[in-house]
Structure 1
Amino acid sequence: MKKNSATSAAVPATNKNEAEAVPTAKNMRAAKRRRSDGTAGRRAPKRARDLPRPSHGDLISSLPDDIFEAIISLLPIKDGVRTQAVARGWRPLWRSAPLDLDATDMCSNKYKCISVVSGILCDHLGPARRFTFENICLHKSKKGYIMDDAWIERWFRSRCLDNLEELDISFRLLGTADVSRTRYPLPSSVLRLAPTLVVATFGVCRFPSEIAPCLDFPLLRQLTLWSISVSEEALHVLLSACHVLETLFLQDIRDIDCLRVSSPTLRIIWFIATPLGRQELFIEDVPHLERLLFPRLDGETIRVHNAPKLKILGPLSPLLSKIEIANLNLQGTITPSLSHSICTVNLALKFAGPDLYAVLNVLRCFPCLEKLYVIWDESLQAEMINMHQYEPLNPIKCLESHLKSTGVE
C-alpha cells in the first residue's frame, strides 16, 4: 500500500512538470521578449559575412574598359591624350578609344599642326569617327612643302581612318601675294575613305582632273564643296558615285561655267555662285528635290528641268539673270504664263529695289504658294515704285486662295 501511495503521490508531480512544459501563447510572447531583448518586430541584424566588404581600391578603377573608352572619346583631343598620365592602367585606353579628332586649333604654330596630327594618327589604333582640320597650312619653302605633302598623303592611308564617318578638311591657298595663288591638290588617298563616309566637306583645294568611274560613296548623305577647283567631268563622276546623297552645298565652284546636278536621292541643294563671274546652275534630273536655296545671287542663271517635288525656292531677286523651271522662263520683268506655273508652297523673295510690280509678277508663277518671306534691304532708302490697286479681273491665284502666312525681314 505504501508503495502504491508513493507511486500515486509522484504522479501529480510529473503531470505538473509536463503541464509547465506545454507552451502557451503567453509563455511564447514572454520568451520572445527575453530573446529579442526588447527588439521584437525588427529585422534581425545581418551576419558579418552578409555585409558588403569595403573596397580596397577606388570605384572608378573597377569600371570596364569599354566605359572608359567611351568617356575618353568624348573629351577634347588634348585632354584625351593627357589621360595616359593618370595611371599605368590608363595608358592603353586612349589609343584604343574611338577617335574624334578636331585639329583646327590644336597648335598655336600653324605649321606645326601637320606633324602633330601625323603623330596622333600614327600612335592611335582607331577606329576614328570624325576628322576635322580646317585651313591646313603647308610650309612655303620647297623642302618643307614636300615633307608636309608626304605627311598629308600618309594621313589618309592610316589604318586609324579605315572606318571614318565624318571628314571636314580645307587648305590655305598656296603661294604669296606677289605670285598667283593656287589651290592645294586634294590627295588621291582621300578617296580611299569613300566606302564609310557619311558626311564630307572639302574646301579650298583642287580636285583631280580625272576620277575613276569605279568611285563609290555608298553611305554619303551630306556633301559640301566650297572654293574648290574641279572639272565638269570630275564633278559629274563625284555626284554619280553618291547613291544616298540627300544634301548638297555648292559654294564658289571654280573652273565650271555650268554646274549640272542630277541625283535620284537629293532633297536639298544650297548654291552660292563664284564671285569671279556669272555662273549657271542646271538642275537636270532631281526627282526628290524639295528645297532649292541660293542666298546670294548676282546675275546667275538657274534652270530646273525636272524637280516635281520642289517646295521651297529662293530667295529670288531681280538681280537674277534668268530662272527657268520646266517650261517657265522668268527673266527680267517679263510676266510669265500661268499655264507654266509651279506648285511651290514656300517662297523667299529678295529685292534690291522696292518694285511692287516685280513682286506680283513672281507671285503669279506660284499659284499654290502657302508661305511667303520677303527679305528687305534696310540700306535702301528708295520709295516703293509701281504702286497700283489690286485688279480683281486679273487675280493672283495664290493671294486669292492659298497664301496662309507672310514674313518680312
Structure 2
Amino acid sequence: MAPEAVVEMEDIIRVVLPCLPAPPFRTTGASRRSNSPRGGGGGEDRISRLPDAVLSNIVARLPAKDAARTTALSRRWRRVWASTPLVLDDSDLLVFRDGGGGRSAPVNWPAVTDAVSRVVGGHRGPIRFVRLTCCCMELAARHGILQYWLRVLVAGGVEDLVLVNRPFPRSLRLPVDVLHIASLRTFYLGFWQFPDTAALPRGRAAVFPRLQEIGLCATTIHARDIDHLLACSPVLEKFAIIASLYHTRSVRIRSCSLQCLVFWKSLADELDVVVAPRLQRLILWQACQCMIIGSVTFRTRVRIGHATELKVLGYLEPSIHQLQIGSTIIESGTKMIPSSMVPSVKILALKIQFRIRKEAKMLPTFLRCFPNVETLHVLSHEAEEPDGKLNSKFWEEVGSIDCLETHITKVVFDKFRGERCELAFLKFILERAQSLLKLVIVLANGDQASVDEMLAKLKSLTTAKRASECPTLLAVVREGDSAWYFQRASDLSVSDPFDW
C-alpha cells in the first residue's frame, strides 16, 4: 500500500470508529487488571447468595473474558453465564504480540479471532450485543470461521451487531448469510463489500423485520443493494452512510418507515430522497480532509422528492451540494414556485464561505426554498481561496424572503471571525427578521485578544435597525471540543441536532 493510501486509510479509520455503537455497559479494561494483588480469599461468599437475576445483571456488565471465567466458580455460575444474554466487545479480548499488553505493541489479530470463537462457541445462550472491530476478518472468512459466527448469531437471536473488517482488506465481501439475521435491531458494517443482492428474491419485506438502525461505514455498496436493503427493512428508522468515498455513486432512498438519513463525511454523485413519507431529518456533513484528493472537486446532487414530514435539514454547503427539489435544480436567482419549496422544514443549517461570492449569493435562494424555517444555523467556513466578498449593498437589495420575515425566531451564527462580510449578513438578519427572539453568535477563536477584537466589532450591531422589537443578542465562546459528532447529529431524541 502506497504511503498516500496509508494516510488516507488512517483518516477514514478516525472517522469511522467514533461512529460505531458502544456496548450497553462500559466493560473495557476490567480484564486487563488481572495482575493486581488478590486478597481476602477465605472470606464468606455472599455474592453467590444473590438471586439469579441479580447475578445475571452482574455478569452482563463484565468484559466477555471475565464473564466466561465466572463459570469456574461453581455449577450455578456456569448456569448464570449460559443464561445471561451475551455482550461481546472483542476489544476486551485484545492480545498483543510482545505478550506485555502494551498499547503500543502490534495486535495479534489471529489470537483475537480465536478468542472470539471460544467465547461465541462456549456461551450457547441468548446474544444481545456483539461488536467485532479487532478480529482478522480475512482469516476468519478464509477458514469458515466468519460463517460459523454468523450461524451462532442467528441461533442466539443477536439484537445489536457491529462488524468491522480488520485489518481493512477492501476486497473482502461480507457473506450473504448476514442477511439472514432476522433478530437484528441495530446493524453497523465497516470496510466491507456488501453482498451482491442481484440474485436474491425481490420484495422480501421480512428479511430484517425488527431492524431499526443501520450504518454503512466505508462499505462498498451499489444502488440496487441499497434498494434491496431498504425494501427488506419495514420498520427501519435510521440509515447512516459514513465515510463512503469510493463506489457508492448513487444513493436512492425509498422507504415508508425511515425517519433519519445521515450522510456523514461521504461522497456520492447523487443523494436522492425519492419517496420517504416519514423522513424527519436529513443530516449532511462532509468536512473531511480525506475527501479532497488532488485537485478534484466533488459535488453531490441532493434531491428532495416526496418527503412531506422533513423538518430538519443540514448542513447544506453550496461548494459541495447541488440542491434539487422535485424537478427544479436550485441555483442563485431561481424563481420559487410551490413545487420547488419544502414547507415542512423547521430547522435549517447552512455552511457558507462568505468570502466566495457565488456561495454567499446562494444563501437567500436557499432560504426561499424553505418558507417555514423557524431556526436557522449558519456556519461560517473560512475560504482557502477567496474570490471577493459581497458588500452591504447586496444584502440591502435582496428581495422578500418569507421565512425570514415571518417565521424565524432563532438564528445561530457559528465561527464568527469579525469579517465585514459576516457583519453585513448579521445586520441583514436583524433588519429583516420580524419574529426574531434570539441571535446567538459563536466566536471562532477563544483566545482572549481575539475575543476582545471580535466583541468590539459586534458593537456595531447594537445600533443597527431591528425589525423585531426585542431580540436577544448573545456572543458566546464554545468551551472544550467544538467538534460536531455523529451520535448527536443522528439522535432523534435531540430536538435540534445542530445546537451543540
How many Å apart are 1:341 and its aligned residue? 2.4
1:137 matched to which residue of 2?
A: 136
**1:330-372 CA distance string (max 9 Å, x none):** 13x3434254322111110102343443322221222211101
How many Å apart are 1:232 and its aligned residue? 2.5
Contact 1:282 1:303 in 2 (8 A): yes
Contact 2:377 2:413 in 1 (8 A): yes
**1:133-163 CA distance string (max 9 Å, x none):** 1253246xxxxx3775411110011268531
What pairs with 1:16-165 in structure 2 (closer than 5 Å)?
58-87=45-74, 89-108=76-95, 109-138=108-137, 145=139, 149-158=143-152, 161-165=155-159
Distance 2:227 2:371 in 1: 34
**1:24-44 CA distance string (max 9 Å, x none):** xxxxxxxxxxxxxxxxxxxxx
Counterpart AA for 1:248: F
Among 157, 160, 165, the residue aligned to 1:166 = 160
Distance 1:237 1:174 in 2: 25
With 285-294 and 215-224 compared, the bigger mean Cα shift is at 215-224
1:7 matched to which residue of 2?
A: none
TM-score by length of 2: 0.62
Alignment CA distance shift 1:304-1:358 (3 Å):
closer
1:342 matched to which residue of 2?
A: 342
What pairs with 1:118-267 in structure 2 (closer than 5 Å)?
118-138=117-137, 145=139, 149-158=143-152, 161-172=155-166, 182-193=170-181, 195-210=182-197, 211-213=200-202, 214=204, 216-251=207-242, 252=244, 254-267=246-259
Distance 1:253 1:234 in 2: 17
1:313 matched to which residue of 2?
A: 313
Distance 1:146 1:89 in 2: 33
Is the partner of 2:216 in helix, strand or coil?
A: strand
Is the partner of 1:118 in helix, strand or coil?
A: helix
Contact 2:70 2:77 in 1 (8 A): yes
Counterpart AA for 2:377: Y
Structure 2 stretches lacking a partner, 5+ long: 1-42, 96-107, 288-297, 415-500
Alignment CA distance shift 1:350-1:183 (3 Å):
same
Is the partner of 2:110 in helix, strand or coil?
A: coil
Say if 2:365 is the partner of 1:368.
Answer: no
Alignment CA distance shift 1:327-1:345 (3 Å):
farther
Alignment CA distance shift 1:393-1:146 (3 Å):
closer
Distance 2:109 2:318 in 1: 43
How many Å apart are 1:97 and its aligned residue? 1.7
Contact 1:126 1:159 in 2 (8 A): no
Counterpart AA for 1:153: Q
Contact 2:266 2:286 in 1 (8 A): no
Contact 1:125 1:159 in 2 (8 A): no
Counterpart AA for 2:348: L
Is the partner of 2:144 in helix, strand or coil?
A: helix
Is the partner of 1:158 in helix, strand or coil?
A: helix
Distance 2:161 2:224 in 1: 23
Distance 1:212 1:338 in 2: 41
Alignment CA distance shift 1:337-1:288 (3 Å):
same
How many Å apart are 1:191 and its aligned residue? 2.1
Distance 1:146 1:174 in 2: 13
Alignment CA distance shift 1:393-1:164 (3 Å):
closer
Distance 2:46 2:321 in 1: 68
Question: Relative contact order, CA 8 A, sep 6+: which one is greater?
Answer: 2
Is the partner of 2:57 in helix, strand or coil?
A: helix
Distance 1:381 1:207 in 2: 39
Say if 2:278 is the partner of 1:291.
Answer: no
Counterpart AA for 2:390: I
Contact 1:293 1:314 in 2 (8 A): yes
Among 384, 405, 408, the residue aligned to 2:410 = 405
Is the partner of 1:294 in helix, strand or coil?
A: strand
How many Å apart are 1:273 and its aligned residue? 6.3
Structure 1 stretches lacking a partner, 5+ long: 1-55, 140-144, 176-181
Distance 2:140 2:255 in 1: 38
Contact 1:216 1:242 in 2 (8 A): yes
Contact 2:90 2:134 in 1 (8 A): no
Alignment CA distance shift 1:174-1:266 (3 Å):
closer
How many Å apart are 1:81 and its aligned residue? 2.1
Contact 1:273 1:300 in 2 (8 A): no
Contact 1:115 1:151 in 2 (8 A): no
**1:70-109 CA distance string (max 9 Å, x none):** 2211222122123234445424422332110111352132
**1:36-71 CA distance string (max 9 Å, x none):** xxxxxxxxxxxxxxxxxxxx9754333232321222
